[in-house]
Chains A and B, each alone.
Chain A
Amino acid sequence: MVGDDLLNANKVTVSFLIDGEWQTGIYDVDLDIAHGEVLALVGESGSGKSTFATSVIGLHNPNQTKVTGSITLDGKELIDLPDEEQNKIRGEKIGMVFQDPLAALNPLMKIGQQIQEALDIHDVYQKDQYYDRVIELLNDVGIVNPQRTANQYPHELSGGMRQRVIIALAIANDPDLIIADEPTTALDTTIQAQILDVLLEIRDRKDTGILLITHDLGVVAEVADSVAVMYAGQIVEKAPVQELFENPLHPYTRSLLRSNPKAEQADDELYVIPGTVPALSEMDHHKDLFLQRVPWMQDQADEDISDDLVEAKPQHFVRGNAWKTFEFQDEKG
């Protein structure tokens, strides 16, 4: 199912101009997505997941943001593309699904018009095909009465319906890559599963690559082929999904998995990672930043480590050295 490389991100670093100073939001990120692959990018709020997605689609404000490194889509470099070419990539090669389905649709435009606009900008479909294509798209994302929905305004639809419409928008021109930024966070659990099914179905049919940004490990286990874990703007671990869940290495990944509630441990107290992600100005990306939040590993927290990830097992990459010795305090014996 997983084919050739589609997206290659190499040493992507994004800095923001904050109060006259450049501060690094994400640092040295390497990620690859193949045709037909679902890569989940996980991490807590503020870890830089969305910043990475925004750089791929080139939507940062160029006056306040600096992106270095290389992001290629099918071999074509995306960083620093002129606006005109950038607009051709957006919506045609890369489709984007946003988190909040109500806010992401223009309240004054009918659903059909909004999808049609996506078709109108690009030359993939001809004008006389627009209406049929709109209906086909709404059908594809599982909307029961597409003719009716095309003629409705966003406020007339439920949250789940709106998210289906957003997906229809994202896939309007059959993109090679879909970036889904927390696509199910605002939805209830049953609708979540339906929306994920819609995404997977599109992947199966069109061999689309999907970058799925989420903090929900349940979603990851359900749909991802591989997982990259991000902390404080860096990838700390990446592996095929089964390997990562069975064999987490980095202390952050292990803490994340441990803090996910499980039904069989319903009576135990839930594990909570103390502290929060450090502020941008306090990030020293040459250290293993997560160790600041592990009181019993302070001796390693100040140690400089390599920017590169180590292949600890085949296909399983991890950053730093802490994974070799890390144990939870109650397990130490």
Chain B
Amino acid sequence: MWKVIIRRLLIMIPQLFILSVMVFMLAKMMPGDPFGGLIGPNTDPKQIEALREAAGLNDPWWQQYINWIQNAFHGDFGMSYTMKQPVTTLIGSRMVNTFWLSLLAMILTYLLAIPMAISAARREGSWWDRVLLIYNSVTFGIPAYVVYLLFIFIFGFTLGWFPTGGTVSPSATGFFPVLMSKIYHMILPAVTMALLGTTAIFTYLRSGILDEQGQDYVKTARAKGVTENRVFSRHILRNALLPIAANFGFVITGLLGGAIFAETIFGYPGLGQLFITAITSRDYSVITALILFNGLLALFGAMLSDIIMAIVDPRIRIE
């Protein structure tokens, strides 16, 4: 087991290197540099040149890359030009919001999708199965922002059940009221995200169950005299959950990435919203940091998925 993990960690070193080079090159390809916007039209070009020299922008590209990556290692991604804050501080405060919202959405998604898949697969071809198949095709196909807007309109404005933006009500003071207010603000976006997000898990699990049901080892279990319920839980379901478990690594690292549409539309200040704001205001240092961060998350997600797979499936373990 430890060998698998160490091997998997070693593979990440070249991956991380390639990722950082690509992000750096993208940043270099973006037009202009920070001094283009900071300095007025009357500034002496010589002064700008001096600033460029001081900032190291005239160094060879590899020297610049080394400087950048060294700073990144120390958590220094520079300043946000539009928000006048260190990028790290900006990301840090948003990440907490994003994490709790995504976590709630994820839990709700699994709570919805897994029972849906089990009940559909156990009654394959029934009207209930068909209803769930249609539901999952529709929620997958429909543009998410349409539903988000509709839900804000219905449950936020018309019925007034939930707030339509923000993370916490300004009037809340004290630990417990603030906590309740934060949860209250998360409910509508999280439930909406969960309702729209079941398709992948539902489809994987439902077809997994149907696949496993026909396997010979299930026949063996029945021939042993195992009861139908136990055949399902100990044999069919356990095997059908493998792809869901493998996907879990991506899902939990994805929690930190942020939901771009949901956060923007629900006015929820998380990383997804920050990303959109940074792109529209061309806040390059923030964009670069977020892309690097999401790339890192994807790499860690893949690693985590591989490790989970090795834990749950004995066939994967490398001796």
Pair A117/B224 contact, Cβ less than 8 Å: yes
How far in angstroms is the closest Cβ of chain B from A136?
17
Given contacts A108-B313, A155-B314, contact A91 B224 (CB under 8 A): yes
Q: Is the CB of A299 closer than 8 A to any CB of chain B?
A: no
B225 is contacted by which of A98, A107, A118, A155 (Cβ under 8 Å)?
A: A118
Query: With A and B bound together, what is the CA distance between A117 and B312 in angstroms?
Result: 20
Other-chain residue from A83, A91, A105, A155 in contact with B217 (beta carbon distance below 8 A)? A105
- Contact indicator A103/B216 (Cβ below 8 Å): yes
Query: In whole angstroms, what is the CA distance A176 to B113 when docked?
Result: 45
- Specify which chain B residues have a CB less than 8 angstroms from the CB of A118 in the assembled complex: 224-225
Structural contact, A106 and B223, CB atoms closer than 8 A = no
- A108-B314, A153-B315, A155-B314 given as contacts; is B225 within 8 A of A169 (CB)? no
Decide if B221 touches A106 in the complex (CB within 8 Å): yes
CB interface residues, A 79-113, toward B, < 8 Å: 83, 87-92, 95-96, 98, 100, 103-108
- From known contacts A87-B227, A100-B216, A104-B217, infer whether A59 and B222 are also in contact, taking CB-CB under 8 Å: yes
Report yes or no: B239 in contact with A88, Cβ–Cβ below 8 A.
no
A98–B216 touching, CB < 8 Å: yes
Q: Is A107 touching B224 in the complex (CB atoms < 8 A)?
A: no
Q: Are B239 and A92 in contact (CB under 8 A)?
A: no
B238 within 8 A of A: yes
Query: Smallest CB-CB separation from B314: which chain A residue?
Result: A153
| A87, A96, A103, A107: the one within 8 Å of B226 (CB) | A87
Taking CB as reference atom, which chain B residue is nearest A54? B219
Q: Which of A57, A91, A103, A122 contacts B215 (CB 8 A)?
A: A103
- The distance from the CB of A103 to the nearest CB of chain B, in whole angstroms, is 4
Interface string of B197-215 (1 = CB under 8 A from A): 0000000000000000001
CB within 8 Å for A106 and B217 given contacts A155-B314, A155-B315: yes
**Which residue of A87, A98, A122, A153 is within 8 Å of B220 (Cβ)?**
A98
- Asked whether, in the complex, the Cβ of A121 is within 8 Å of the Cβ of B224, the reply is yes
Least CB separation from B220: chain A residue:
A104
B44 contacts A by Cβ under 8 Å? no
* Residues of chain A contacted by B228 (CB below 8 angstroms): 83
Q: Is A166 an interface residue (CB 8 A)?
A: yes
Count of A residues near B, CB < 8 Å?
29
Name which residue of chain A comes closest to B223, CB basis: A96
Q: Is A98 a contact partner of B219 (Cβ separation < 8 A)?
A: yes
State which size class the interface on B falls in.
20 to 34
Smallest CB separation, B237 vs chain A (Å): 11
A106 to B237, CA, bound (A): 12
Whether B235 is near chain A, meaning CB under 8 Å from some CB there, is: yes
With A83-B228, A92-B225: A104-B313 Cβ-Cβ less than 8 Å: no
Chain A's closest residue to B238 (CB) is A108
Chain A contacts for B242, CB-based, 8 A: 108
Once the chains are docked, how many angstroms separate the CA of A305 from the CA of B112? 61
* A99 to B220 CA separation, bound complex (whole angstroms): 11
Indicate if the CB atoms of B227 and A106 lie closer than 8 Å: no
Q: Given known contacts A106-B239, A108-B239, is B220 in contact with A166 (CB within 8 Å)?
A: yes
> Which residue in chain A gives the minimum CB-CB distance to B313?
A108
Residue numbers in A under 8 Å from B235 (CB-CB): 106
| Candidates B216, B223, B239, B315; contact of A90 at CB < 8 Å | B223
Collect the chain A residues with CB atoms within 8 Å of residue B216's CB: 98, 100, 103-104
A100 to B215, CA, bound (A): 11
Chain A residues whose C-beta falls within 8 Å of the C-beta of B238 in the assembled complex? 108
Note all chain B residues with C-beta closer than 8 A to A91: 223-226
Q: How many inter-chain contacts with C-beta < 8 Å in the A-B complex?
A: 73
Which residues of chain B (235-265) have a CB below 8 Å from chain A? 235, 238-239, 242
Set of chain B residues within 8 Å of A155, measured between Cβ atoms: 314-315
Measured in the bound complex, the distance between the Cα atoms of B312 and A318 in whole Å is 55
In Å, the complex CA distance between A107 and B312 comes to: 11
**Bound: A65/B313 CA distance, A:** 35
Q: Contact: A107 with B220, CB < 8 Å?
A: no
Q: A100-B216, A107-B217, A108-B239 are in contact. Are A88 and B225 (CB under 8 A)?
A: yes
Residues of B with C-beta under 8 A to A100: 216
**What's the Cα separation between A122 and B315 when bound, in Å?**
30
Interface pair A104/B219, CB less than 8 Å apart: yes
| A90 close to B222 (CB less than 8 A) | yes
The closest CB in chain A to the CB of B234 belongs to: A117
Query: Which B residues from 282 to 319 make CB contacts under 8 A with A?
Result: 312-315
CB distance from A72 to the nearest CB of B (A): 19
State A170–B224 Cα separation when bound (angstroms). Answer: 7
Closest to B242 in A: A108
Closest to A170 in B: B223
Give B206 Cβ to nearest chain A Cβ, in Å. Answer: 19
> How far, in whole Å, are A45 and B37 apart by their CA atoms in the complex?
80
Min CB–CB distance A159 → chain B (angstroms): 14
Chain B residue numbers with a CB within 8 Å of A98 are 216, 219-220, 223
Min distance, Cβ B100 to any Cβ of chain A, angstroms: 34
Closest chain A CB from B274 CB (angstroms): 42
Nearest chain A residue, comparing its CB with the CB of B218 = A106
A1 CB, min distance to chain B CBs, angstroms:
26
Write out the residue numbers on chain B whose beta carbons fall within 8 Å of the beta carbon of A95: 223
B244 to chain A, nearest CB (A): 14
Q: In the complex, A88→B224 CA distance in Å?
A: 9
Closest B residue to A119 by CB, please name it. Answer: B224
In angstroms, Cα B222 to Cα A170, docked, is 12
State whether A107 touches B314 (Cβ < 8 A): yes
A interface vs B, CB < 8 Å? Answer: 57, 59, 83, 87-92, 95-96, 98, 100, 103-108, 117-118, 121-122, 153, 155, 166, 169-170, 172
Some 20 contacts from A to B, beta carbons below 8 A apart, are: A57-B223, A83-B227, A83-B228, A87-B225, A90-B222, A90-B223, A90-B224, A91-B225, A91-B226, A92-B225, A98-B219, A104-B220, A106-B239, A108-B238, A108-B314, A117-B221, A118-B224, A121-B224, A166-B220, A170-B223
List 8 extra interface pairs beyond A89-B225, A117-B221, CB under 8 A: A83-B228, A90-B222, A91-B225, A98-B216, A104-B216, A105-B220, A107-B314, A121-B226
